[in-house]
Amino acid sequence: MAEFIAYLIAGLATGAIYALAAIGFTLVWQTSQTINFAQGEFVMLPAILILAMVGFLGAPFWLATVLGIALFVLLFGWGFKIVIVDPMIRHGVLPLAIATMALAIIMKEGAKDGFSAEAQNFPSFLPVQTISLGGVSISLQHIAIILVACAAIGGLQWFVTRTKTGRQMQAAAQNPNVALVLGIPVARMVMLTFLINAGLAALASVLISPIYLAKFSNGEVIGLFAFIAAIVGGFNQVRGALAGGLIVGVIDSLAAAYISTSYRLAVPLVLLVIIILVKPEGLFGRKEERRV
């Protein structure tokens, strides 16, 4: 039982990371029909950028973190939309999706060649001790990751539903034509979702890299699981992506512990297939609807 709880908490922690990535994924899908196959690499790269700033510029870690995140949001929020999404979406959803696959490869190989092929230690801002609670040893880092990620998601949810700008963002996602007629700055709202996506990815990167280490190939699994989480959650809202992320994280953790570490990747995929067959609109989705 003690072991089970520890795996559960570890699963919730990685699940929270998947949720961050899945939420960003659904946001850009809703506002601009972008299926970002580079989403995993979006979580991989910020940590590498931060380490590069420490290594090449000799910046202190906290400053490198601030600069690295800012640079990442600029390049992969703003720049991603201007350079890749806007020109490609004119040709359709598929060409854009393929362009993001190419971007994923470029980011991965770029991180490998430009920085390192080896996994690098990444310092944690969070406590790393383990405490014992009633015989269960619990990693404080896991708990802290869950709390930080949930706070970020809660903040995002508050912004989207409780602020005028957030509601304009919802309007732009749900019905851009009507939003435009009302004078809502639709283009700016779409850009905002790209900046939020990059910000969430950067946060996920800073949270997960102390555990997984910073490595060019980290995006593969994260991207796959975030994608599964988004579909499981219904592809169309913050709540669904959060639940999807947590479910996938827990299933992965328990599968690795109790089934097999080598086949663990397959278990969430099985879940995905079941969901697609049984409830294609996702656990929380509604048919044919887009929303933030």
Query: Which residues would be at the binding site for another protein (CB under 8 A)?
Result: 164, 167-168, 170-171, 174-175, 177-185, 291
Min dist. Cβ of residue 284 to another protein (A): 13
Helix (H) or strand (E) holding 132: strand 130-133
Min dist. Cβ of residue 150 to another protein (A): 23
Closer of 109 and 289 to another protein (Cβ): 289
- 């709390």: which residue's tokens? 147
* Lookup: tokens for 26: 């659904």
Closer of 39 and 237 to another protein (Cβ): 237
d(CA 174, CA 163): 16
Report helix, strand or coil for 115: coil
Name the residue among 31, 23, 25, 36 with its Cα closest to residue 186: 31
Closer of 163 and 260 to another protein (Cβ): 163
Sign of CA dihedral 281, 285, 288, 292: negative
Min dist. Cβ of residue 290 to another protein (A): 11
Min dist. Cβ of residue 226 to another protein (A): 24
Could you tell me how many helices (H) and strands (E) the chain has, helices first?
A: 12, 2
Min dist. Cβ of residue 21 to another protein (A): 24
* Lookup: tokens for 94: 């598929």
Instruction: Tell me how many degrees the CA angle 107-110-116 measures, rounded to the nearest 5.
Output: 120
Sign of CA dihedral 148, 149, 154, 160: positive
Closer of 227 and 235 to another protein (Cβ): 235
Helix (H) or strand (E) holding 136: strand 136-139
Closer of 147 and 178 to another protein (Cβ): 178
Min dist. Cβ of residue 182 to another protein (A): 5
The dihedral region occupied by 135, where left means phi > 0, alpha psi between -120 and 50, and beta the remainder, is left
Integer angstrom CA distances of residue 291 from 146, 176, 284, 288: 25, 11, 12, 10
Closer of 47 and 179 to another protein (Cβ): 179
Min dist. Cβ of residue 77 to another protein (A): 24
Closer of 215 and 290 to another protein (Cβ): 290
